Amino acid sequence: MTDTSAPDPTLTQTELDQIEIANSSGRQPVVFIHGLWLLSSSWDRWRTLYEHAGYATIAPGWPDDPATVTEARGNPDVFAHKMVGAVTAHYLAAIAKLDREPAVVGHSFGGLIAQKVAGEGASAATVAIDPAPGRGVLPLPPSALKAGSPVLGNPANARRSVTLTFEEFQYGWTNALDEAEARQLYDEFHVAASGVPIFQAAAANLNPFSETKVKFKADDRGPLLVVSGEKDHTVPRAIAHAAYKKHLKSSAVTEFVEIPDRGHSLTIDHGWQEVAQTSLDFIARFVR
């Protein structure tokens, strides 16, 4: 790891405290990376499960994320302009302060960033759950286009934060759930998100310098698991499996798992523990 004493202006005191606790524990660290429309607190139950299994965990937010859902809803504009490159650099800065190479778990755009972190050789093992597509991932199923339309439908959203309506959240995230649970998740977890990463992903295959580029051929990235929710509208199997196939160009271990009957909310809904345990079992095979 790099110099852990160097200050980093993007890391909050809460994040630095989590890193210090992880380092002082002597345990193997696991880093959780959330995606759009969630905060790092969406990983709280996962962190408890992993800590009970003997790991130390940290869950940094994206730069300038509010601390709570209430604060986020009171100031949605704070999410605007957050781009994939800067967010990736933020997580790499946090990882650099850990005493040992962590396992990394990411969901959605967090899954894309987790792959980018792995490509930098900064992860001992990586789990990318319903990962947003990086450059070179070509499938674009109709459901993904529809799920992205609340952002992509207005070019001005590239400079804005975007809050989903309940109906948009229900289509993109909770289509595999009943309405009561969908409403509960929307009320508990949903916050505004930066529009620009979705435009970055949409234009990635036209831009050879796209910040969404992943080093798929990296042989030093450590084992990597791609997890797909069978009924995900936002990142359908075709996208997740295409990312998996790109990673097969590396000599490192690469695996793919599909979780039946699950949508994009699979990390926060009633079945979160199945996904968390699947991810934990993979990490435990390689990182103890």
How far apart CA 148 and CA 145 sit, in angstroms, is 5
Tell me which residue of 210, 206, 192 sits closest to 85, measured CA to CA. Answer: 210
Q: Which of 12, 6, 101 is nearest to 65 (CA)?
A: 12
Residue 248 in tokens: 């097969």
pLDDT at 3: 43
What counts of helices (H) and strands (E) characterise the chain? 11, 8
Element (H, E) at 57: strand 56-58
pLDDT at 14: 96
Strand partners, 162: 193
- Residues (pLDDT < 70) of the chain are 1-7
pLDDT at 219: 95
Q: In whole angstroms, what is the distance from residue 88 CA to residue 33 CA?
A: 10
pTM here? 0.96
Who contacts 145 (Cβ-Cβ below 8 Å, separation ≥6)?
152
How many Å apart are CA 247 and CA 225, to the nearest integer?
Answer: 10
Coil, strand, or helix at residue 225? strand
CB atoms within 10 A of CB 219: 11
Query: Helix, strand or coil for residue 258?
Result: strand
pLDDT for position 7: 52
Provide φ and ψ at 239, rounded to 5°.
-75, -50
pLDDT of residue 5: 45
Predicted local confidence at residue 9, as pLDDT: 73
Question: Would you call 226 helix, strand, or coil by DSSP?
Answer: strand
Tell me the domains of the chain and their CATH numbers. 13-286 (3.40.50.1820)
